[in-house]
Amino acid sequence: MKNFLKFKKTAIISLLLILCLVLSSFVFATGETDENSNKVKNVILMIPDGMTIAHTTLARWYQGGEPLAMDELACGLVRTYSANNPITDSAPAGTAYATGYKTQNRYLSIFPEISSMPGVGQVEEKDFYKPIVTILEAAKKSGKSTGLVVTCQFPHATPAAFASHSDNRNDYENIAEQMVYNRVDVVFGGGWKYIGKNSRKDKEDLVSYLKQNGFEVTNSWEVAKNYYGSKIWGLFAQDYMHYDIDRNGTGEPSLAEMTQKALQILSKNRNGFFLMVEGSEIDWASHANDPVGVVSDVLAFDRAVKVALDFAKSRNDTAVIIAPDHTNGGMTLGNYSASADSVLLNNFLKYIRKATRTGAGVEEILGNNRTDENIKKVVSKYYGIDNLTQDEINAIKNAPAGRLNYVLGPMISKRSYIGWTSNDHTGEEVVLYAYHPNGYVPHGVIDNTEVCDYMAEIMGIDLGSFNENAYISNADLEEKGYDVFIDTGNPYNIQLVINSKGKTYTIPQNKNVLIEGNKQYTLKYVSVYIPGAKKFFVSSEVEDLLK
């Protein structure tokens, strides 16, 4: 009897195992388990602005050859061209990551009217300049928390691409207002002057608006790092923050510290979050051909990468994508004065390791005291250079305000056998790095728009459905028979005015509100005015409110 029961038990177990195998084979064939296992709650996109392979190589040598935190994640290359140019600027590059669409240089998350690059489809004329819903906006509308962590001023091109829409990336005040009304949950970086009532041309009190909507708003890192709520804007400089190596004594936090705090706050949301972290000033150092700034901020960015990776690896619901938006400067380790046999590692690193400030930091120290002797003294102390020529001294003395790094950077580069081809962006591919808890990452050479597609896929967000009926234009409303005009009487507060059934409706630019008499309605999307085209785009549910 015991043997029979043992046989029966064994048979049942065997049948169950066979059944499980059949079921698992069926599920694998349908792809359902794989598809679900690829979904994550949280996505951290990290953008080292302007970073090239030469940047990372130099940063590795600077820290003794030790690998960077991002090295283990390298998995492919990203093509960076914009809709109208082989060399992108940060606005369309950020737009591609934010929306999955290419646009033209200077534009932020709107459709282009010029699509001249191979493989970029032409947009219908009626959709020229139309705002494109970003992955940050879609994530927020899906119940997730959202964050932007940068070292530049927050309405600068890359962060702006995720939370605003404009045909002019330099229109900081209007961009800032859109970003505020988009109510991004966590914003850390610079740019206090763009939300302060007294420093804005339109005198909008964006600080009060944020506070009235439950945000902590501060310019103090001490306040921010001790905040344990869920919504905060911490802007730690009036404009942009310092390079990392210049930050001691300023009270400004590091990119890693801001990233750590943002993750602490955003991870409270059970629905998950989307966070974009930018190493903003890698790009600026490259524009200036300043290798000290490059090393400073590549390593600062990499420390933030480690924070993000440690967070992601401590759980199973978070993906990290690291992708520069473009290359910059044409930096090379080796120039026309270098040969493979004559230049040793110390020749590259000697002066960069001696430097304790970037050119921008030295400019602050020099101030207006640009005598020959003081220039020699300061450059010797902070750069270890004791052999300045008179021509170099004169160049330092005559450097325009805010441009001394464009003088000192090349001096360091020349002494370090580092070559540069440009003070601007270049058009090569960039390295893609990615971490997914199940190893589901892109490989090969992909387009920058595919980075957004990948993020949307793993978060389970259908960006197409968000864009399908998000915006209508003033022309659309006119075609439907509404009496519409754009009121430009106050250039700092342009409004769309709609007359319908004896009532007047007003929609101010950059806000997500519709006003009718004493009534105010909150709209799904911020309103966008494109001055050059005289186009005003509003959230599509406006039409329902007019009926």
Tell me which of 24, 25, 37, 90 is the catalytic residue: 90
Q: Report residue 424: phi and psi, to 5°.
A: -135, 180
Q: Which of 81, 70, 57 is nearest to 428 (CA)?
A: 81
Q: Which of 270, 195, 275 is nearest to 235 (CA)?
A: 195
Rounded Cα distance, 296 and 253, in Å:
14
Structure tokens at 533: 């085209």
- 291-313 vs 53-62: helix axis angle to the nearest 10? 90
The neighbour count for residue 139, using CB atoms within 10 Å, is 24
Return all residues near 165 (Cβ < 8 A) that are at least 6 apart: 108, 109, 110, 131, 132, 178, 526, 528, 537
Q: Cα 204 from chain centroid?
A: 25
Burial of 309 per CB tally in 10 Å (0-12, 13-18, 19+)? buried
Per the CB < 8 A criterion, the answer to whether 514 and 507 are in contact is: yes
Distances (CA, A) of 273 to 121, 138, 158, 252: 31, 11, 19, 25
Name the percent of the chain in helix, strand, coil, to the closest 5: 40, 20, 40
Beta 425-426 vs 444-447: how paired, if at all?
A: unpaired
Helix (H) or strand (E) holding 14: helix 2-30
- Most distant CA pair in the chain: distance in Å? 105
Whether 116 is a known active-site residue: answer no
Rounded Cα distance, 103 and 109, in Å:
7
- In 213-358, alpha helices (H): 221-225, 255-266, 281-287, 291-313, 345-354
What are the DSSP calls for 503-520, one per residue? EEEEEETTSSEEEETTEE
Helix (H) or strand (E) holding 23: helix 2-30
Helix (H) or strand (E) holding 407: helix 405-415
Active-site amino acid positions: 90
